């Protein structure tokens, strides 16, 4: 019934954008094209699954913005909406919408260095489907990506811990879980926040199972992730891997450091109070999840403590402010960490919103 109402109710469009009922917007040609886009999306994504209506909410918000900004262009005769799959007109021709005006675009780059001291790499990452193998020495180069936000895109950094080779096993178990859950994310069977919570729980359980198989007492990993959806981004973290955002040349930390309070005068690295790999009967997992609206020009950074222990926030800000590519941002950040000692594995992902 919900699907039928959305696809065929003649009043649907008026309920979507009541604030835009002027002659320019409500003209049949312009108005029909906009609603046709929404109806096609409903037809393609609903699949009789009411939960998937979450996606429709994002489409409605996008349509409101499209209508209010007058981004639709008409080239044909009066349009008519006859079903949920097609939008016909007398000439059956409409100018294709301009993606650059309607959708956010992201440019992203990833780098991972073993550092100058360590002989093994306990860092791993998830870069929209790409990650390192369990045994690795970091990336020899850089991974780059540029894509319109027509669907969900996920990035993450994981800093394993446990001594010997157990750190990389923990971080690899985390990215394995994401790979298996990626289809669930892309189909948006649950909302973004619920998906992130579910993903953290699954990663935690997998690492605990792996720890029991290896008969070790301590094995875990931090997690810092960004899930991009068409109009928003969700940040999620556990541990001391961080998420930053540069907006209007001001750097802010979005993530929360899960670390112990170290007494003044004590010179040691603070222990973690939250991480992936905690048995459920010992401590409740409490991921920090923050939703942010997307804004063109924003730059996001996800990184392990191999970067933040070696490079100050001021230097990070100065590097991200430079008018260079995201790949060059990553190169400069990792190079700065190596220049300052490179005592730990270092991973950085930079994403710019265009």
Contact assessment for residue 291 and residue 229, using Cβ atoms and an 8 Å cutoff:
no
User: Which of these, 161, 139, 147, lies nearest to 330 by C-alpha position?
Assistant: 139
Say yes or no: 290 and 165 in one domain.
yes
Q: How confident is the model at residue 65 (pLDDT cuts 50, 70, 90)?
A: low
Q: For residue 276, what are the domain limits? A: 103-353
Q: What percent of the chain has pLDDT over 90?
A: 62
More confident residue, 235 or 16: 235
Residue with structure tokens 């009411």?
Answer: 50
> How many CB atoms sit inside 10 A of residue 219's CB?
23
Give the confidence band of 46 by pLDDT, cuts at 50, 70, 90. Answer: very low
Residue found under tokens 């909410």: 57
- Percent of residues, the chain, with pLDDT higher than 70: 69
CATH number, position 218: 3.60.40.10
SS3 80: strand
pLDDT bin (cut points 50, 70, 90) of residue 83 is: very low
User: pLDDT tens across 266-290, in order?
Assistant: 777 888 999 999 998 999 999 999 9
Q: Are residues 252 and 188 in the same domain?
A: yes
- Domain C-terminal end among 79, 97, 115: 97
What span, in angstroms and rounded, lies between the C-alpha atoms of 88 and 93?
8
How is residue 249 annotated by DSSP?
A: T
**Given this model, what pLDDT does residue 73 score?**
41
pLDDT score recorded for residue 244: 98
Same domain, yes or no: 47 and 112: no
**Which pLDDT belongs to residue 103?**
92
Residues in the chain, total: 354
Q: Which helix (H) or strand (E) holds 228?
A: strand 223-228
Q: Which residue, of 33, 66, 97, is where some domain finishes?
A: 97
Q: What's the average model confidence in pLDDT over 250-279? A: 89
Give the pLDDT band (50/70/90) at residue 297. very high
Task: Please tell me whether residues 55 and 203 are part of one structural domain.
Answer: no
Nearest in space to 145 (alpha carbons), one of 228, 62, 232, 248: 228
Number of structural domains, the chain? 2
> H/E element holding 3?
helix 2-8
Higher-confidence residue: 285 or 61? 285
Residues 108 and 93 in one domain: no
* Among 52, 74, 97, residue at a domain's last position: 97
Q: pLDDT tier at 189 (50, 70, 90 boundaries)?
A: low
Q: What are the distances in angstroms from CA 8 to CA 14, 45, 94, 132, 328?
A: 13, 16, 21, 47, 50
Whether residue 47 is predicted with pLDDT greater than 50 in this model: the reply is no
Q: What is the Cα–Cα distance from 238 to 112, expressed in whole angstroms?
A: 20
Residue 352's alpha-carbon distances to 105, 179, 255, 261, in angstroms, are 8, 23, 18, 33
Residues 201 and 186 in one domain: yes
- For the entire predicted model, the pTM comes to 0.74
Output the CA–CA distances (angstroms, integers) from residue 64 to 54, 229, 230, in the order listed: 16, 16, 13
> What average pLDDT does the chain have?
80
Per the model's pLDDT, the better-predicted residue between 62 and 16 turns out to be 62
- Cα separation, 42 vs 3, whole angstroms: 8
Residues 292 and 184 in one domain: yes
Alpha carbons 95 and 207: distance in angstroms, whole number: 51
- Is there a contact between 227 and 192 (Cβ–Cβ < 8 Å)? yes
Q: What is the token pair recorded at 48?
A: 């009789």
Question: 62 or 118: whose pLDDT is higher?
Answer: 118
Q: Which residue has the higher pLDDT, 183 or 118?
A: 118
Q: Is the dihedral of CA 174, 180, 183, 184 positive or negative?
A: negative
Asked if residue 252 and residue 114 are part of one domain, the reply reads yes
Of 23-37, 121-135, 249-263, 320-334, the least confident: 23-37
Q: 172 and 245 share a domain?
A: yes
Asked if the model's pLDDT at residue 38 lies above 80, the reply is: no
pLDDT tops 50 at residue 48? no
> Do 76 and 142 belong to one domain?
no
- pLDDT top residue among 89 and 312: 312
**Band of pLDDT at residue 165, cut at 50, 70 and 90:** confident
The stretch 310-325 carries a mean pLDDT of: 97
Tell me the three state secondary structure of residue 233: strand
Write out pLDDT tens, residues 84-134.
Answer: 444 444 344 433 455 666 899 999 999 999 999 999 999 999 999 999 999
147, 12: one domain:
no
Q: How many CB atoms lie within 10 A of CB 17?
A: 20
Average pLDDT over residues 77-84: 39
Q: Are residues 91 and 109 in the same domain?
A: no
Tokens matching residue 212: 């029991």
């Amino acid at each position: 019934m919900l699907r039928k109402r959305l696809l065929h109710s003649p009043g649907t469009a008026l309920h979507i954008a009541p604030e835009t009922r002027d002659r320019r917007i409500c003209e049949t040609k312009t108005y029909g094209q906009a609603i046709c886009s929404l109806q096609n999306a409903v037809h393609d994504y609903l699949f009789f699954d009411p939960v998937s209506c979450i996606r429709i909410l994002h489409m409605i918000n996008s349509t409101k913005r499209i209508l209010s900004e007058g981004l639709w262009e008409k080239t044909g005769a009066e349009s008519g909406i006859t079903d949920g799959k097609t939008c016909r007109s007398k000439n059956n021709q409409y100018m294709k919408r301009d993606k650059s005006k309607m959708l956010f675009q992201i440019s992203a780059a990833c780098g991972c260095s073993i550092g100058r001291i360590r002989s093994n790499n306990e860092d791993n990452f998830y870069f929209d489907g790409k990650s390192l193998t369990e045994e690795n020495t970091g990336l020899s180069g850089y991974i780059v990506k540029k894509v319109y936000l027509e669907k969900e895109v996920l990035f993450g950094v994981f800093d394993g811990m446990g001594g010997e080779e157990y750190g990389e096993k923990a971080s690899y178990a985390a990215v394995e879980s994401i790979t298996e859950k990626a289809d669930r994310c892309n189909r948006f069977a649950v909302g973004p926040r619920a998906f992130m919570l579910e993903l953290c729980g699954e990663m935690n359980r997998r690492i605990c199972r792996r720890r029991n198989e290896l008969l070790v007492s301590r094995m875990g990993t931090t997690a810092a992730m960004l899930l991009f959806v068409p109009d928003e981004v969700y940040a999620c973290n556990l541990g001391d891997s961080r998420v930053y955002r540069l907006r209007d040349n001001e750097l802010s930390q979005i993530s929360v450091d899960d670390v112990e309070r170290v007494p003044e005068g004590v010179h040691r690295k603070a222990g973690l109070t939250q991480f992936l790999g905690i048995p459920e009967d010992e401590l409740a997992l409490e991921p920090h999840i923050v939703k942010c609206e997307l804004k063109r020009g924003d730059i996001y950074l996800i990184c392990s403590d191999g970067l933040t222990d070696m490079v100050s926030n001021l230097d990070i800000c100065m590097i991200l402010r430079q008018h260079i590519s995201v790949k060059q941002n990553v190169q400069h950040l990792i190079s700065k960490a190596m220049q300052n000692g490179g005592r730990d594995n270092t991973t950085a992902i930079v994403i710019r919103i265009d």
